[in-house]
Amino acid sequence: MTWLITGGAGYIGAHVARAMAGAGESVVALDDLSAGVPARLPAGVPLVRGSALDPDLLRRVFAEHRVTGVVHLAARKQVAESVARPTWYYAENVGGLATLLDAVAEAGIRRFVFSSSAAVYGTPDVDLITEDTPCAPVNPYGETKLAGEWLVRAAGRAHGIATVCLRYFNVAGTAAPELADTGVFNIVPMVFDRLTRDEAPRIFGADYPTPDGTCIRDYIHVADLAEAHLAAARRLTAEDAAGDLTVNIGRGVGVSVRELVTLIGEVTGDTRPALVEARRPGDAPRAVASADLAAKGLGWTARHDVREMVASAWEGWQRLHGR
């Protein structure tokens, strides 16, 4: 059994490759290296440089590596960019997925794990978001992830492909400094970047209906997320694997932005007060996962807390920036 991991040299993809290979799974990574770093991949994991949108390349990779399952992480994922370039996001994230699923069906591959996002929910007004919470994405990125889920499930029904869709909440941390996130798009590296440039961290909105006025989010350690992919792959290799499963990947614990910024200050030793700026459009006051179905359907629960996320991310940040 060999798993192809698209986007396998990326921040999340390399963690997934490491977790799966470390558990004895045979894996091969496919990455166009637009954001991926080959050195992140563990020894013995082959890297094919190219795009998951290239059907001829997919056919060759499937045949040469005898691929029997796919973990699809490759995607465009920046919200602001999706608002500015919606047609490109649909072409890359949905059109590219259609190309991949066609190749999967043609090759007779019957196992597929899809990287989705809590962005499919939009801004629900609930204490805990379950998989039955209505989906109402508020940006093109979230729309492409929801459309991707529909497409994965439809292709699964049409071609007998067993599927799992994983709806990630807020990913942070690193399992090893060399696997650190090189982007500055999520809150933890954004605060690190501000502090490194001797600037105060920013909080967007402090007048939300929450205990301290700032947004509350569910943060998941990337190492735990990688283990969730391994659990999904193992579920799909079970003798009775069939149908589809869609699950939230979070801890079920809410942390406010102000609490997170305070914790970052404790870890880094830079405790300067944050600047409070205007709200950003589309930010929900609260977005916390119910993780019950992941525990029941995948046998998976998160093990790492937020302090571990921040401390590991800071170690990786320092390595990346020569500190």
What the block records as the tokens of 116 is 């989705």
Q: Which amino acids are annotated catalytic?
A: 141
Phi, psi of 171 (to 5 degrees): -90, 135
